[in-house]
Chain A
Amino acid sequence: MTFKKMDLKPETLAEIEAAIPKYPEAQSAVMPLLHAIQKDQGFISNEAAEWVAEKLGIAPINVLSVVTFYPFFRQHKVGKRHIRVCRTLSCAMAGGSKVCDKMLSEFEAELNQVSPDGEVTVEFAECLASCGSAPVMLVDEDLHENLTVEKAKEICDQIKAEGTK
């Protein structure tokens, strides 16, 4: 899907307008703008990158180079819920891999792919800075800690229940 023109929600536009004057130089607002747009549209399209460039008075390549550098910015859609299971050492020692397998099998999904029902995208993430309560994962913005395969199943059930509402 492409955006012929940017069709952003009013609150996204307000967030963008508020972000720019916070910085001494406009280019610094690239990341806040990309965050706002990705939250609004789910990903960063080429049109969005060009729109941000124009908004900040910089070249489109300067925006695209940021989009492609940072793992959180994406140029493709993800499922309704974005699930990131930590794979780094402390979580791996505590069974993060099994948690990820459970999330994938519950949604019959492949790693990094939107599940067939469109509900989730499950990915591995690098250290989420909560190693004392490993293994952990982020479901969108919510951190789930001290996970087990059983807890993972409960979270899947909850996501499915919310999805059918």
Chain B
Amino acid sequence: MAIHPREQRLILKYADEPGYTPHIDSYLEKGGYETLKKAVTMEPQSIIDEVKKSGLRGRGGAGFPCGVKWSFVDRKSGKPIYLICNCDESEPGTFKDRQIVHKDPHQLIEGMMISCFANNVAKAFIYIREEMPYGAKILDQAILEAKEKGFVGDNVLGSGYSCDIVVHRGAAAYICGEETGLIESLEGKRANPRIKPPYFPAVLGLYNCPTIVNNVETLCNPIHILKMGADEFAKIGRPNNSGTRIWCVSGGVQRPGYYEVGEMTLGDLVYDICGGPLPGRKIKAIIPGGSSMKILKNGDRYKGKNPDGSEYDWGLEDIPLDYDGIAAAGSMSGSGGMMVLDDTVSIPAALANLMAFYSHESCGQCTPCREGSLWLKKITSRMVHGQAREEDVDLMLSVADQIAGRTICAFGFAVAWPVQSYIAKFEEEFREYAAHLSDPNADRQAIKELACNG
């Protein structure tokens, strides 16, 4: 994919360069593994401190500070410490980790080895989704190449530190992106998320040993933090939002794709870089960080107070494109999977599509989620297929409210947030459906295709 002039590429710097391949020689030509060579001569704690100082936040969804996560690891238990790279990339709208794994796998491996060394990790795993079979093969091959050169395995670069990386393939279950579900899956079980407390991975993770679970993009960053220094790294982006982020834009824009950028606004990304809506259309709403995140409506004003007491009053396009900016607008940057809905999209049909997804992907462990997600699928489905009932809007809200916060893992919020936010922002559209058994003017075929739920 062509690099847009407004991008600031750190992680994907070489990925799309002509002639650049996943082979180790390509990576070495660009100075690859030099940072690992430096890292293994450092004090492990000083690497953790540097990552902490950089302000790096997780790129997988929750945005938790990476260095702080590492500092929670129980180092006194006497048990081995594990690191798992979460490459499940299953949040709808997200396709960034795919680029790293397929085009620059050695960057991930170097980042993992630095992170493993810093945390005295005994063994590392890459949990990759089944739907990326070539990605798994590329990683296996890359690990072999890295072992031959002494970057992975026994006595890494003569440092006396040893650590192996194992690639583990999933089998098409969304819930494996949830870190404790992923751990269960890696133990060879159903991916039922674990309850916290006591199962905080940093203390009781894989095989009940201390475990770090980080996203692919997150794990590439320590290379760049050590290379440029935490202070320089922290200068990219606004304070508390340091580093670049790879945004994945799909849906109703002229140039969908992945874009790695520093500080900018949502409008810069969607209108300038992605070219705005298709000719003759308007942007209706944006789901900013993967399908679980609350929707942002175009035309709304996003107002509030900054931590310093000053006030902000943004249109959709003014929202700062980072963790805190999108949070201030009432949603989350999540996994960076941005879905743009233009004015041809029926919001109830889009919700019906997503409820079919969540209903399919609920692990079934918690009653509110297992039953509630199916109810929501059925209600949204009948709503868009001409059998809506007057009470449906309120019923949907009632079901969603009873799921959110009442489940073991955050999947409950992922089901509830779309329902709650789509109705809050587009209530008239839903009421219209409910009052008329469905939108009387609707293009039935188009709605059926969008809901795509049988």
Residues of chain A touching chain B, judged by Cβ–Cβ distance below 8 Å, are: 22-25, 27-32, 34-35, 56, 58, 62, 65-66, 69-73, 84, 87-90, 92-98, 111, 124-134, 138, 141
Contact = CB atoms under 8 A, between A and B. Distances in A.
B172 A31 contact: no
Which of A28, A70, A90, A95 has the largest count of B CB atoms less than 10 A from its CB? A90
28 contacts: A58-B188, A62-B188, A65-B190, A69-B363, A71-B172, A71-B360, A88-B353, A89-B92, A89-B350, A89-B354, A89-B357, A90-B93, A90-B339, A94-B251, A95-B449, A97-B449, A97-B450, A126-B357, A126-B361, A127-B291, A127-B357, A129-B90, A131-B94, A131-B95, A131-B256, A131-B337, A131-B339, A134-B250
Nearest to B209: A24
Given A88-B357, A95-B449, A130 B98 contact: yes
Nearest to A67: B171
Contact of B172 (A28, A72, A98, A130): A72
B386 interface: no
B360 A62 contact: no
Contacts of A29: 188
Given A129-B132, A134-B256, 6 more contacts: A87-B353, A125-B131, A130-B98, A131-B256, A132-B256, A138-B131
Contacts of A98: 449
Which of A31, A72, A93 has the largest count of B CB atoms less than 10 A from its CB? A93
A37 to B, nearest CB: 12
A27 to B, nearest CB: 4
Which of B131, B185, B207 has the largest count of A CB atoms less than 10 A from its CB? B131
B450 A92 contact: yes
B131 A93 contact: no
A44 B186 CA distance: 19
A110 to B, nearest CB: 12
Nearest to A35: B169
B187 A96 contact: no
B254 to A, nearest CB: 12
The 6 lowest CB-CB distance pairs between A and B, nearest first, are A70-B171, A131-B250, A30-B188, A27-B188, A97-B449, A72-B172
B173 interface: yes
Contacts of A93: 251-252, 339, 341, 345, 350, 450
Given A89-B291, A132-B95, A69 B173 contact: yes
A66 B192 CA distance: 11
Contacts of A125: 131, 172
